[in-house]
Amino acid sequence: MDADAFYQMKVYRPTYVEAFKCDGKACDSRCCRDWRIVLDQETREKYLRLPAAARAEIFSHVDESGQAFQMQSSGACPFLDENFLCKLQLKHGEDFLTAVCQSFPRVTYKLSAEVYSQAMTLTCPVAAILILLRDEPIDFEVVDELGARQVFDFTERLSMPAEEFIERQRAAIRILQRRDLTINQRLKGLCEFFGEKSSVVEFDDLNHAAALAEIFGEMYDANLSVAKKNQLAEVYLTHRKNILAQLRGSFVVVLENYLVNEFVMRCYPCAFVGGAAFNSRVFVTAYRAIEFAAVLTTISKRRLTVEDFLELLLSLNDKMDHSRGGMMAIKNFAELHDAEVFYSMMLER
């Protein structure tokens, strides 16, 4: 018997996880487009027990490695029907989905033998709408079932006991959900909560813009010239004040929900090696990169609708997940500067 079975499982998660229902027609099943869907051993054994014809049909779509499904030339999964629903699930049930497909968009971390954390990624448009467009603050619950087969073992990454981690994470979320404060004030409070102390410094808008232009280029793997990065920084500086005022006014609840979900979904303040204060810097810097992209997008489109903003957040979330250079640039910035310089470049009053 698995040793974990002797413990009472506690799964800490936002209540929206229970409310989520997949709707492939709402998003053209973008979740699996261009994926490498690994065929895990448990699911493989289920397929092998199917009748010969059904078994042959499934394995005809396995790639040469024998480890994953071969996507169509369009990038779509071969098991999607005309309504963008999974034929495997429709015919055989949810138990016949791979661990990856069955779990998505849920992201589940094992924090200890009995404690787990779960959230949902914004790369699923249906989940993004459910998470970001809610008016009430994201709330949380504790359940005793995972509901997902894909689990990331985070036990060795935690720098504190699991229950303490959950308590500190919830305390940070309470700061992020303080609607009596501006977004900037909440981010400053978050950094201070995790031990980031600094004297009052003037905001350095020039170096702020230059740093974000550098990060932006890395996120999009654009290999931008120095001249192009300087141009983007200048455009951003010219328009940032007005556009960010509109953004923080019209989309303040969306921004709050985004920040809260990111904090949980990426397992802050232990997302990266380096301590809680360092993690808070990474978190704030990543958010500033989103503001930078939002300003440029608004200029390009002349205005930013709710739909535009959601699409931008989905795209940037994907970049955070898959652009090694982008996240590395964010971490490098957070690592290279002391508290005073960080405050001057990333924590505007």
Convert the pLDDT of each residue in 116-165 to its tens digit. Answer: 999 998 888 889 999 999 999 999 999 998 888 788 999 998 989 999 99
Among 112, 137, 153, the domain boundary falls at: 153
Instruction: Please indicate, yes or no, whether residues 135 and 207 belong to a single structural domain of this protein.
Output: no
- Rounded Cα distance, 176 and 283, in Å: 12
Write out pLDDT tens, residues 63-74: 888 788 888 888
User: Per-residue confidence at 96, pLDDT binned at 50, 70, 90?
Assistant: confident
Is 125 part of a structural domain of the chain?
yes
Q: Is the dihedral of CA 326, 327, 329, 330 positive or negative?
A: positive
Is 272 part of a structural domain of the chain?
yes
User: Per-residue confidence at 221, pLDDT binned at 50, 70, 90?
Assistant: confident
User: Per-residue confidence at 1, pLDDT binned at 50, 70, 90?
Assistant: very low
Q: What is the model's pLDDT at position 24?
A: 61
Instruction: Please indicate, yes or no, whether residues 139 and 214 belong to a single structural domain of this protein.
Output: no
Is 72 part of a structural domain of the chain?
yes
Q: What is the mean pLDDT of residues 210-218?
A: 92
Strands 115-120 and 152-153: unpaired
**Backbone torsion region of residue 341, taken as left when φ is above 0, otherwise alpha when ψ lies between -120 and 50, otherwise beta:** alpha
User: Which range marks the domain in which residue 46 is found?
Assistant: 3-153
Residues with Cβ < 8 Å from 323, sequence gap 6 or more? Answer: 218, 219, 220, 221
Is 292 part of a structural domain of the chain?
yes
Could you give the number of structural domains in the chain? 2
